[in-house]
A and B are shown apart, each in its own frame.
Chain A
Amino acid sequence: MTTQEVGRPRRRKEDARLLTGRTQWTDNLSRPGTLHVMFLRSPMAHARITRVDVSGARGLPGVVAAFSGQDFEAEQGSLPCAWPRSGDTVVPDHPPMAVSEVRYVGEAVACVVATDRYRAADALEAIEVDYEQLPAVLDMNEALGDSSARVHESGNRAFTYRTTSGDLDAAFRDAPVVIDRTFVQQRLIPSAMEPRAVLCDTDGDSFTMWTSTQIPHILRTMLALVTGVAEHKLRVVAPDVGGGFGSKLQVTAEEVLCLLLARKLGKPVKWAESRSEGNLTVHHGRDQIQHLRLAADADGRIRGLQVELLADMGAYLVLLTPAVPLLGAQMFNAIYKMDAYEFACTGVFTTKMPTDAYRGAGRPEATFGIERMMDELAAELRMDPLEVRRRNWIRHEEFPFTTISGLTYDSGNYEAATERAMALFGYDKLRAEQNDRRDRGDPVQLGIGVSTYTEMCGLGPSRWFGDNNAGAGGWEHGSVRVLPTGKVEVVTGSSPHGQGHVTAWSQIVADALGVPFEDVTVLHGDTAISPKGLDTYGSRSLTIGGIAVLKACDKVRDKARKLAAHVLECSPDDLEFEAGAFTVRGTGSQKSIQELALAAFAAHDLPEGVEARLDSDVTFDPENFSFPHGTHLCAVEVDTDTGMVKIRSYVAVDDVGKVVNPLIVDGQLHGGIAQGIAQALFEEAVYDADGNLLTATMADYLLPSAADLPDFALDRTESPATSNPLGVKGVGEAGTIASTPAVVNAIVDALRPRGVVDVQMPCTPERVWRALEGARR
């Protein structure tokens, strides 16, 4: 008997190299004669470029070339936006290197190619640029006014999107309770620990690019479209990638320009960003103003929800910019039933770095909005926040359930997750302590924050992408090859950057083929090795990529069964497959998958219609999204004298369907929760009135350290997904989505008796203190 691998806390195969420094981060790689590229970046948020003179750089020691945007004008194309979801989306021209106008601080205006990075940095200082300053556009509301300066000729409105279901007027008419709130989702910098890097080599007419990307496959196609380099002459490799969180889900200016430079110079070129360059130029996340109105009955039942969003696009639309806030269109209603729902969003251009996907992409923003509103509703009705949720959520027996925004949730059990979370948290005891502290007038108040979330994971059904104006579908590819020696090689189109695909996929394959876990290896992230794929984002890796691999195993087994029947001279139906071998029922004669692989390789005697080698190739396209959910509870202590917030305990009970590797699932949740807490308490990208980024380094942009965070208590419930045969739901974004509102709800809960109804994120001591002062007045 082989042990079941799926569900086992397997230590990762990936770790050994990472622990010993035998890594292949892009910046570790080089080709003989590699030249180093550096970019000169705009110090102004908005300006006309009247002159760029790179000649001063050209003669300097070690400098091979220097170029301005003008030098690339004819060949650099426009960076792509692949998902203009709203039909009226305006997609402005977006040159990788600015030619006549800059629209955010950090936009590249010139570049130097030199023998090493120190010489390149020296030479940048010799480039002269004259700017004619134009007004910066920073505030979304002002940007939409008639008197605002324009970011683009076409104006500052990128799109307007609206969708309604049910009768909203009726829902609000005579509603006993109406809650009206405005929340701000601050701008964030994703901050993967590995800065971006690109190395591009050429042998004349073909190119290989190593790049720190989440999307080697999409990138290859896009680079071909943008630059005119033939797609079949371009190989993209994502070697070890040090985190992404959406920030490496992009077709970047630097990737395009490195390709053009390798072509121009016929030499390998490398660019590696510094962190301060990265903070300016890695796309940012979030940045929305949410105006929400909620109508409810006196017993807490929701009648209607109206959502009005302003979403900051930044200066351009990069790969998914306009689609990100619209992922919230079907998520603001969350797990709740209601009679009417309206979602409207306006995308706004400003002179800042473009926004795009950041962990959760549109769904954390939506979950934050609705979960804050549920707490406000509870407060209005003087009801327990969990009770208000209970009165509105979809009950366990109602699944599958089609929501008011048109998604069909296949499975879930909000009651079970909530009960378990409350028990683990000690909910009643903490409420008692809270009351006690309130009664005593303790300067340190206790707050309890609740968040019951769901998300649409496993992006996604290709048909849905098509219906929603996306440039591509959402399938994924997997192939499985049983090698002549019986070892198994798996190729996945999903390109990991820390999620442990090699280990999880090995577990799936080990079970499906009855082979040892150790006998499986997984290849990925290189378009020459894994030619088909749509990569990793949106918690789609396991739910789509993992399933493609599982289905490829099924196909291999079918082929092996035919071969076994032929060799054992029986009907395929007489064979039983167990522990990696086919056995003729009742006789005991058998053939192992390894023996069959050898026979299929030798191919001396194959049955009619069976080709040599035991391998298969599958793409999987899910019929629906998956919908993980959970209940997160957070207790905070707020010092009302100083505004200091301390997280006292954090409990998360998540339902991510079937679990392949509990270690990896917990790890993903830990990291996600930390990122969500960081949004609530620490992080914010801040621009000054002239459009300079004040948080351009890690000294100014506050990422939490181990000392800033508590331990998290995790538990799980399990409602298998019905949209895939493993029943998995995805986990990468769950923690981030759930934790931000849990923390802010806790802070507001602590201070509500003192009249505080909201604190804007990040809830720094100063903000909390000011909220208290404001309420006192």
Chain B
Amino acid sequence: MPRITVTVDGIQYEEDVEPRLLLVHLLRERLGKTGTPIGCDTSNCGACTVMIDGKSAKSCSVLAVQADGCDVVTIEGLGANGSLHPMQQAFHEEHALQCGYCTPGMVMAAIDLLRDDPDPSEETIRQGLEGNLCRCTGYCNIVRAVRRGAQEMGQAVRTP
């Protein structure tokens, strides 16, 4: 079994993994990082989205061995010293979650989309979240939350 070294939320782990083991299962079942849920088996839903070396990725479509040497951040590693990341806070303020199952993935995807465009229009946000499905909110408040999150992350929001 290959041995990998992976940093997850600031802690380094060394694990022997089967080559077929998915990263999401490594996180959830071996490392106890259950904050990242699974919603599908076709990489359509985005529930499992985490950051790998600073870029968002669906952890159900990454093998654990591919994460060897990588720095992974999950929803549990976001925010500092017990306070919420501005994007998490924005989701709370805008009531952008109901059951919350899609939320960790949405927050990760939202943060990532601001890397490309720190001042996204509604259109850009909607396109940028296309790979993350939510069945509860109808997306209205998620879109608002992402704009607010962008604002609070120190970016001026373009007036439409």
Check B101–A243 contact: CB distance below 8 A.
Answer: yes
Smallest Cβ-Cβ distance to A498: which chain B residue: B99
Check A274–B135 contact: CB distance below 8 A.
Answer: no
**Residues of A close to B75: CB separation below 8 A:** 19-21
Closest beta carbon of chain B to A402's beta carbon, Å = 35
Check A706–B103 contact: CB distance below 8 A.
Answer: no
The residue from B18, B41, B93, B133 contacting A276, defined by CB atoms under 8 A apart? B41
Check A698–B136 contact: CB distance below 8 A.
Answer: no
Residue A670 at the chain B interface, CB threshold 8 Å: yes
Residue A25 at the chain B interface, CB threshold 8 Å: yes
Check B140–A191 contact: CB distance below 8 A.
Answer: no
Check B138–A709 contact: CB distance below 8 A.
Answer: yes
**Residues of B close to A243: CB separation below 8 A:** 98-99, 101, 135-136
Complex CA distance for A497 and B33, rounded to whole angstroms = 22
Residue B54 at the chain A interface, CB threshold 8 Å: no
Place the interface of chain B in its size category: 35 or more
Smallest Cβ-Cβ distance to A497: which chain B residue: B99
Complex CA distance for A182 and B21, rounded to whole angstroms = 51
Closest beta carbon of chain A to B114's beta carbon, Å = 15
Check A667–B18 contact: CB distance below 8 A.
Answer: no
| Interface stretch (choices A10-18, A296-304, A612-620) | A10-18
Indicate whether A242 sits within 8 Å of B99 (C-beta atoms), given known contacts A25-B34, A195-B39: yes
Indicate whether A670 sits within 8 Å of B45 (C-beta atoms), given known contacts A21-B36, A25-B37, A242-B100: no
Check A20–B138 contact: CB distance below 8 A.
Answer: no
Residue A102 at the chain B interface, CB threshold 8 Å: no
Check A20–B100 contact: CB distance below 8 A.
Answer: no
Residue B84 at the chain A interface, CB threshold 8 Å: yes
Check B101–A194 contact: CB distance below 8 A.
Answer: yes
Complex CA distance for A698 and B40, rounded to whole angstroms = 7
Residue A241 at the chain B interface, CB threshold 8 Å: yes
Complex CA distance for A667 and B29, rounded to whole angstroms = 33
Complex CA distance for A302 and B99, rounded to whole angstroms = 42
Smallest Cβ-Cβ distance to B37: which chain A residue: A25
Indicate whether A18 sits within 8 Å of B103 (C-beta atoms), given known contacts A27-B37, A498-B98, A711-B143: yes
Residue A703 at the chain B interface, CB threshold 8 Å: yes
Closest beta carbon of chain A to B160's beta carbon, Å = 12
Check A194–B99 contact: CB distance below 8 A.
Answer: yes
The residue from A240, A673, A698 contacting B100, defined by CB atoms under 8 A apart? A240
Residue A160 at the chain B interface, CB threshold 8 Å: no
**Residues of A close to B41: CB separation below 8 A:** 274-276, 697
Residue-by-residue, is A297-315 near B (CB-CB < 8 Å gives 1, otherwise 0)? 0000000000000000000
**Residues of B close to A699: CB separation below 8 A:** 42, 44
B90-106 interface (Cβ within 8 A of A): 91-93, 95, 97-104
Residue B55 at the chain A interface, CB threshold 8 Å: no
Smallest Cβ-Cβ distance to B102: which chain A residue: A193
Indicate whether A275 sits within 8 Å of B40 (C-beta atoms), given known contacts A21-B104, A243-B101: yes
Closest beta carbon of chain B to A9's beta carbon, Å = 8
**Residues of B close to A500: CB separation below 8 A:** 98
Residue B56 at the chain A interface, CB threshold 8 Å: no
**Residues of A close to B135: CB separation below 8 A:** 191-193, 243, 245, 671, 675, 703
Smallest Cβ-Cβ distance to A277: which chain B residue: B41
The residue from A21, A275, A706 contacting B126, defined by CB atoms under 8 A apart? A706
Smallest Cβ-Cβ distance to B89: which chain A residue: A19
Complex CA distance for A334 and B131, rounded to whole angstroms = 38
Closest beta carbon of chain A to B105's beta carbon, Å = 9
Residue B28 at the chain A interface, CB threshold 8 Å: yes
Indicate whether A705 sits within 8 Å of B132 (C-beta atoms), given known contacts A193-B45, A243-B101: yes
Complex CA distance for A500 and B78, rounded to whole angstroms = 24
Residue B16 at the chain A interface, CB threshold 8 Å: no
Indicate whether A15 sits within 8 Å of B92 (C-beta atoms), given known contacts A670-B141, A698-B45: yes
Closest beta carbon of chain A to B154's beta carbon, Å = 20
Closest beta carbon of chain B to A651's beta carbon, Å = 13
**Residues of B close to A669: CB separation below 8 A:** 138
Residue A23 at the chain B interface, CB threshold 8 Å: yes
* CB-CB nearest 5 A-B residue pairs: A21-B35, A18-B100, A498-B99, A242-B101, A674-B138
